Amino acid sequence: MFNALFQTHKVSVIIFLLIYVIKTTLLLLDKKEGLDKFKKITKVPEMIVSFLFLATGIYLITQIPEIKSFLIIKLVAVALAIPVAIVGFKKNNKMLATLSLVLIIGAYGLAEMSKKQKSAKTTEPMETTIGPAKDSATVAAPTGATDLNGFNVARAGKLFKDNCSSCHGDDGKAGKAGAADLTKSTMDAMEAKSIVTDGKGSMPGVGESLHTEEINAVVNYIQSFKQKK
């Protein structure tokens, strides 16, 4: 259900933004007759899309374990954009209509930026199949139990907790925000690595924030859930 609503939200946002781009363009070009005709044609579809956009957005927000500053700014921008747009198009005010469009585009620009925030990296480590780069100078060799590839299990667990447990839970079974039960996953390590790195659906990837050996360690940690179910 979560993924279906997430996809509905994405589609409604695209349509919503497209309608506003066209309306703003017509207004800026002084195409009053064309604008009036377009507004008449899209009045009902715009109402439906706006409802879907807001309703699915509110639901998705309730499913987010942690609301970050970027999301708050996005919500404020969207909340301001809608009434500004209503007034702008009602009075054919170019400045208000343009401001509304900028706020909407900016809101989703901020959303993309929040996904791509990354921690500072020093040296790119050597990549192995699924496991750490043995000769990487970027990771100290901690003591304690290690996985099959020599990565510290406790540290791998912390990486999982910091990046994944808010939705998957510490045991991989939480299933929040549409997250899969990792103890029932049938994916092999390489498939899991691809999803952990690049993300899938509403799940963001960590390829921009973790080093290769850290991603490999998280994948190995996830694979271990299959033996714990």
Are residues 190 and 209 located together in one domain of the fold?
A: yes
Are residues 48 and 65 located together in one domain of the fold?
A: yes
Are residues 8 and 35 located together in one domain of the fold?
A: yes
Both ends of the chain: CA-CA distance in Å?
24
> What is d(CA 154, CA 80) in angstroms, rounded to the nearest whole number?
45
Closest to 213 (Cα-Cα) out of 146, 124, 142: 124
Q: What is the DSSP letter of 203?
A: E
Are residues 128 and 99 located together in one domain of the fold?
A: no
> What is d(CA 119, CA 63) in angstroms, rounded to the nearest whole number?
25
Q: Which of 54, 85, 115 is a domain's end point? A: 115
Are residues 53 and 103 located together in one domain of the fold?
A: yes
Are residues 165 and 228 located together in one domain of the fold?
A: yes
How many domains is the chain built from? Answer: 2
Q: What CATH number is given to the structural domain containing 157?
A: 1.10.760.10
Question: Where is 144: in which H helix or E strand?
Answer: none
**How many CB atoms neighbour CB 49 within 10 A?**
20
- What's the whole-number mean pLDDT along residues 105-113? 69
Are residues 105 and 178 located together in one domain of the fold?
A: no
> What is d(CA 97, CA 21) in angstroms, rounded to the nearest whole number?
10
Are residues 79 and 127 located together in one domain of the fold?
A: no
Are residues 107 and 200 located together in one domain of the fold?
A: no
Mean pLDDT over all residues of the chain? 77
Calculate the alpha carbon distances from 181 to 87, 167, 187 in Å. Answer: 47, 10, 12
Query: How many helices, marked H, and strands, marked E, lie in the chain?
Result: 8, 2
Tell me the pairing of strands 199-200 and 203-204: antiparallel
Are residues 60 and 159 located together in one domain of the fold?
A: no
- What's the whole-number mean pLDDT along residues 8-25? 89
Are residues 92 and 138 located together in one domain of the fold?
A: no
> What is d(CA 209, CA 214) in angstroms, rounded to the nearest whole number?
10
Q: Which of 115, 149, 176 is a domain's end point? A: 115
Give the model confidence (pLDDT) of 49-93 as tens digits: 988 888 888 877 776 655 667 677 777 888 888 889 889 888 889
> Is the distance from CB of 69 to CB of 113 less than 8 angstroms?
no
Q: Which of 87, 115, 143 is a domain's end point? A: 115
Are residues 65 and 105 located together in one domain of the fold?
A: yes
Give the model confidence (pLDDT) of 162-219 as tens digits: 888 888 888 888 777 777 888 887 777 788 888 888 888 778 888 878 888 888 888 8
> Domain containing 199: what range?
121-229
